[in-house]
Amino acid sequence: MPELPEADAARRRIADTCLHRTIAGFTLGEVTHVDLPSEAERARLIGTQFSQTRRHGKYIFAGSKDGPWMHIHLGMSGSLRVYDDGDTPPDYARLTVVFEGDRRLTFRDPRKFGHVKIVEDVDDFIAAKGLGPDAMQIGDNAFAQVIGGTRGAVKSALLDQGKLAGVGNLWSDEALYRTGIMPDTKASDLGSDRIAHLHRAVQDIMGHVMEKNADYSQLPRDWLIHNREAGAGCPRCGGTITKKTVGGRTAYHCPDHQTA
């Protein structure tokens, strides 16, 4: 499932290839059960240009200072593809932005769990969704308050988008694996040093994935992601990777070195 690094890679794709191009229109693919802007909403963007991009957690935005903004959520398997007229368009294209000239931007969503919406103001949207601070922007004190002050399982706290926007199942497991913390440990039982370590791990891990443009094959071989299945060997301590359910979500961990 796309998480914050994938969302940021998609945002950068827009920023690098689609800004300051006039929107000439849109084309639709098979759209049954896909949440997309109405014809009237799409018409508001025709003749305008994307001049800015933003990301908050897993949410992507492209628009201009005064709006409106196109907001994209990738869902379970969505992606943004950029191509030029004459190239082979991607399959499972649900919505394509047609720019003047050859450039095209397509929302590809095989499983139809993503969506595209038109929003007036990004900050108002974030507030209305009840999203917490972005995981890559939150400071030490705020992280300690929202995560360290949680009486429930630390993994559940990391996944709560109202506390911290952008951490998903994959990178919560990776951060806990790196810091030696069991996923079902009560967050409020962790000392300030462990919380600070966890904060650094979350941002270091996702920052590294972002630097690699969310290409998992370029990640270090001792990361959990390469051994994230029950019964796999733990490259850090030689233990065995185990899974359990925490807060309704599957958590992969190594009980031999995740002991906190």
- Tell me the per-residue pLDDT of 46-85, one tens digit each, with 9 for 90 and over: 999 999 999 999 999 999 988 999 999 999 999 999 999 9
The stretch 33-43 carries a mean pLDDT of: 96
Confidence band for 42, pLDDT divided at 50, 70 and 90: very high
144 and 53 inside one domain:
no
159 and 212 inside one domain:
yes
* Angstrom distances, CA of residue 101 to CA of 14, 17, 20: 16, 13, 12
42 and 149 inside one domain:
no
Phi-psi region of 35 (alpha: psi -120 to 50; beta: other; left: phi over 0): beta
125 and 10 inside one domain:
yes
Of 72, 103, 129, which marks where a domain is finished?
A: 129
CA 144 to chain centre: 22
Query: What would the two tokens of residue 142 be?
Result: 């705020």
Of 129, 149, 183, which marks where a domain is finished?
A: 129
162 and 77 inside one domain:
no
85 and 118 inside one domain:
yes
Query: What would the two tokens of residue 72 be?
Result: 């994209």
125 and 11 inside one domain:
yes
Residue 70: which of 57, 82, 59 has the closest Cα?
59
What CATH number corresponds to the domain at position 212?
1.10.8.50
Confidence (pLDDT) at 29: 94
**Strand pairing report for 79-84 and 93-99:** unpaired
22 and 41 inside one domain:
yes
Q: Is residue 169 part of a domain?
A: yes
Q: Is residue 259 part of a domain?
A: no
What percentage of the chain carries pLDDT values higher than 90? 96
Helices 4-17 and 192-211 cross at an angle (nearest 10°) of: 40
32 and 88 inside one domain:
yes
Query: Which contiguous run of DSSP H or E holds residue 164?
Result: none
Confidence (pLDDT) at 2: 84
The stretch 12-37 carries a mean pLDDT of: 96
Q: How many domains does the chain have?
A: 2
Task: Give Dmax over CA atoms of the chain in angstroms.
Answer: 59
* Calpha distance 149→143 (Å, rounded): 9
Q: Is residue 260 part of a domain?
A: no
Domain of 57, in residue numbers:
4-129
CB within 8 Å of 93: residues ≥ 6 apart: 27, 29, 81, 106, 107, 108
Instruction: Answer whether residue 260 shows pLDDT above 90.
Output: no
164 and 100 inside one domain:
no
The stretch 108-136 carries a mean pLDDT of: 97
Of 85, 106, 129, which marks where a domain is finished?
A: 129
Whether the predicted model's global pTM rises above the 0.85 cut? yes
Q: What average pLDDT does the structure give for the chain?
A: 96
Q: Is residue 135 part of a domain?
A: no
What CATH number corresponds to the domain at position 94?
3.20.190.10
23 and 121 inside one domain:
yes
Instruction: Answer whether residue 18 shows pLDDT above 90.
Output: yes
Length of the chain: 260
pLDDT digits (tens, 9 = 90+) for 146-164: 999 999 999 999 999 999 9
* Angstrom distances, CA of residue 182 to CA of 46, 176, 253: 51, 7, 7
160 and 239 inside one domain:
yes
Q: Is residue 198 part of a domain?
A: yes
pLDDT digits (tens, 9 = 90+) for 216-247: 999 999 999 999 999 999 999 999 999 999 99
The stretch 104-109 carries a mean pLDDT of: 98
